[in-house]
Structure 1
Amino acid sequence: MTLTQVDTTRTLQPVAVIGANGHTGRFVVDELLRRGLTPIAIGRSAARLAEAGFSERGIECREATVEDDAALDRALAGAAAVINCAGPFMDTADAVVRAALRAGIHYLDVTAEQPSVQATFERHEIAARDAGVVVIPAMGFYGGLADLLVATVMGEWDHADAIEIHVALDSWLPTKGTRITGEKNTAKRLSVSGGKIEPVRQPPVEKVSVLPAPFGRQTFIELPFSEVPLIARHVRTKELHAFLSTTALRDVRDPSTPAPQPVDETGRSAQRFAVEVIVMQGDLRRRIIAQGQDIYAVTAPIICEAVQRILSGDIRDTGAKPPAAIFNASSLLRALDPHLSIETLEV
C-alpha cells in the first residue's frame, strides 16, 4: 500500500481519546462522532467518564493513567490512532507516545507546550519512522494551525527571511487545564533569531498590527507557543517570532477570569480569534489570516481532520513530524471550512 492509497481495514477501527472527559476532549469525541468515526473515551477516572455521559451515547469507556503502562496498553487495544487531550503534556505525552508505538498506532496531541513538542520529536522520530506510524504533537489551535498557515502562504518558497505570527483573542476564558499547564510550564520560551532557536528576547518585543473586523488595531507581545518548534523543524528561516495579543495575555494572567461558557448547541463559547501569519523573503511579503470561534472547540475539527486523513492514507510521510510535513497544508485548511475563515491578503 502506498501512502496515498486508502486502507479500509484501518479506517473502520476506533480512535482512542485520552482525556476524553476534559473540556477539549469532549469536543474531540463529538467531532469524531460527527465524522462517522468511533471514539473510545479514556480517562483517569471511571466515575468522571460516567459523569460525561459517554456510555449513555453508546461510546466505549476505558480507565487508564499515564503512570500505568499495562493499563495504557489495554486502553489502546483495537484502536487505529490515539488523540491525547490530557495535559500538561510534559507529564503525559511521552508515556502515551510510547504506548502508541507499542500498539503500532498513530499518535496526535493538542499541546501548546514547546518542551513537550521538542521532546516528542527528539525521543520518538526514529521509532515512529521504523514503525511506519504518524506521530504529530500540537495538532490543534496552538501549534498546528500556525504551521499549516505558514506552509500555505509560503507556497513555492523554499525559505523565508522572517516569519511573524500574531494570535489575537477578543478574550481568553481559560479552562482549568490551561491554568494548571501555565503554572507548571516554567521553561523559557523559544523563538528563532539569526537562524538559531534561542530564548525570547527580554523584555519581550511588542508589535502593533491591524486585523480585519472585529479586531481592528491590536497590540501584541512576543509569547510563542508550540508553533515555533513545529515550524522550525521543517522551514528554513532566519527569524521566527510569535506574538499574543495583550488582551488575551491580560485575561489568562487574571485569576478571576472565568472559564469558558457555552453559547450554542455545540458547546462553543462566544470567544473570537484571529491568527495572522506574515512571511518575508527579501522585499516580498505574504500574509494570511484565519478567523473563527473558540480556540478549544476549533481544535477538534483540526485534529479530527488530521486523523481522518491519516487513517485514509492521505499523507505525505510517516514518523514524528510537524503537520505541514505530513499533510498538504492548503488542502487540509480548505477542509476546515466553515470552522475557519481564511483569507490571503496582499501586503
Structure 2
Amino acid sequence: MKTPQSVAVLGANGHTGRFVVAELLRRGLKPIAIGRNAERLAAAGFMERGIECREASVEDDEELDRALAGAAAIINCAGPFMDTADAVVRAALRAGIHYLDVTAEQPSVQATFERHEVAAREAGVVVIPAMGFYGGLADLLVTAVMDEWEHADDIEIRIALDSWLPTRGTRVTGERNTVRRLAVSGGQLEPVHQPPAERISTLPAPFGQQTFVEIPFSEVPLIARHVRTKELHTFLSTVALRDVRDPSTPPPQAVDEFGRSAQRFAVEVIVTQEGVRRRIIAQGQDIYAVSAPIICEAVQRILSGEIRDIGAKPPAEIFNAASFLQALGPDLSVEISET
C-alpha cells in the first residue's frame, strides 16, 4: 500500500486551516498541522485524530525548516499574508517543496510573483498564491469561459454573498490591507477609480437582483499575468460589503457536520469579445469552507503530476481550468452560457 504524501498546513488551527486539514484527510493525504502556539494546536483536536502537530513561527527560519521536514507541499492559511507569505515561500524553496496559499490580498500576490518566480522555476516546484475562493476560483472561471479566445475586450467578475460573517483573520487583514486596490483599465493595472463603479445584476436563487460595488481582490494580479484584456473589474455585493464593514457582525457559525456556515455564494464572470458575451456562474456554500477543496484539489494535482508548468504562476497556467472546475462538482455548481 502506498504511503500517503505529507502536506504541511500553516495556520492549521485557524478557521480555514481546519477545513483544509479535514479535506486533506478526506483525500487520503497526510496533513502536518503547523501553528505558532502548541496549546492552540492541541485545542484543535488534531492529535486525537492522529495528525502530527509542529510548532513554528514565520519569524524563525530554523523553526520553519524543521516544521516543513518531510512534507511534499505547504499550504499557508496564516494571514495576513503580507506578513507571512514571503517567509514561508522562502522556507518552501529551501526545502524544495511546493507552496500554495489562500490570500485575498493583492500586494502579497504581486510580491510572491516578483520575488520568487525565478527561484521557484530553478527549484522545480510550483508556487501558487491565492489558490482559494478569492483569487484562484475567479482565475479558473475566467480561463474556462474564455476557452479558445486569446484575448478579451472586457472581463467583469461579480461576487454575491447572501451574508459575510467574517473570521477574526479577515478582520485583521482588512485593517492591515490599506493599499489602493488595482483593476485593469486600458490594458494596464491601475488603481480603482473613486468613487468605485456600481453594477446591478440578476443572479439565480437565492440572490435575485443584486447591487455590486467595485472591490477587486487577489484575482486581478492572477488573471492579469496571463490573460490579455483591455478591462478587468471585480464587484462585490453591497450586502456582503455591509456585513464585513460592520464591527458588530458575528463570526461564522457551523450549521452542518462539516462545520460550514449557512452562507451561500455566487461568482458571476462575464467576458466580452467583439460584441460576443460569455457568462459563467459558480455557486456554493461558505467561502471559507470551499477554499479547502479548491486548494486541496490543486495540491493533489501537483503531487500526482497533473500540471502544465512549474514556477510561481496563477492557477490557470498550472492546471486545465475546465477539468479543475469539473472536479469540484460536489462543492461547486458551474454553468456557462453565450449570447
| TM class, shorter-length | over 0.9
Q: Tell me how far 1:12 sits from its aligned partner.
A: 3.5
> Alignment partner for residue 217 of structure 1, among 209, 215, 222?
209
Q: Tell me how far 1:338 sits from its aligned partner.
A: 1.1
Unaligned runs of 5+ in 1: 1-7
SS of the counterpart of 1:30? helix
What is the match of residue 133 of structure 1? 125
Matches within 5 A, 1:30-45: 30-45=22-37
> Alignment partner for residue 73 of structure 2, among 72, 81, 95?
81
Q: Give a deviation string over 1:75-129, Cα, whole Å, max 9, x none.
A: 0000000000000000000000000000000000000000000000000000000
1: CA distance between counterparts of 2:142 and 2:44? 37
2: CA distance between counterparts of 1:338 and 1:278? 24
> Alignment partner for residue 93 of structure 2, among 94, 98, 101?
101
2: CA distance between counterparts of 1:106 and 1:346? 37
Matches within 5 A, 1:260-275: 260-275=252-267
Q: Give a deviation string over 1:281-338, Cα, whole Å, max 9, x none.
A: 0111100000000000000000000000000000000000000000000000000011
> Alignment partner for residue 291 of structure 2, among 296, 299, 302?
299
What is the match of residue 246 of structure 2? 254
1: CA distance between counterparts of 2:16 and 2:160? 20
What is the match of residue 175 of structure 1? 167
Unaligned runs of 5+ in 2: none
> Alignment partner for residue 273 of structure 2, among 259, 281, 295?
281
1:166 to 2:158 alignment = yes
SS of the counterpart of 2:189? strand
What is the match of residue 308 of structure 1? 300
What is the match of residue 199 of structure 2? 207
> TM-score by structure 2 length?
0.99
Q: Is the 8 A contact 2:276 2:338 kept in 1?
A: no
1:198 to 2:190 alignment = yes
> Alignment partner for residue 147 of structure 1, among 129, 139, 148?
139
The code of the aligned residue for 1:195 comes to G
Matches within 5 A, 1:222-237: 222-237=214-229
Q: Is the 8 A contact 2:102 2:291 kept in 1?
A: yes
- Corresponding residue pairs, total: 339
SS of the counterpart of 2:74? strand
1: CA distance between counterparts of 2:117 and 2:129? 12
SS of the counterpart of 2:166? coil
Q: Tell me how far 1:13 sits from its aligned partner.
A: 2.4
What is the match of residue 8 of structure 2? 16
Q: Is the 8 A contact 2:4 2:28 kept in 1?
A: no
After alignment, is 209-218 or 11-20 more displaced?
11-20
What is the match of residue 17 of structure 2? 25
CA RMSD of aligned residues (A): 1.0
What is the match of residue 90 of structure 1? 82
SS of the counterpart of 1:234? coil
SS of the counterpart of 1:273? strand
2: CA distance between counterparts of 1:255 and 1:341? 32
Q: Give a deviation string over 1:11-62, Cα, whole Å, max 9, x none.
A: 8320000000000000000000000000000000000000001001000000
1:186 to 2:157 alignment = no
> TM-score by structure 1 length?
0.97
2: CA distance between counterparts of 1:126 and 1:295? 32
Give aligned-pair identity as a percent. Answer: 82
Q: Tell me how far 1:256 sits from its aligned partner.
A: 0.5
SS of the counterpart of 2:225? helix
> Alignment partner for residue 68 of structure 1, among 32, 52, 60?
60
Q: Tell me how far 1:345 sits from its aligned partner.
A: 2.2
Q: Tell me how far 1:176 sits from its aligned partner.
A: 0.3
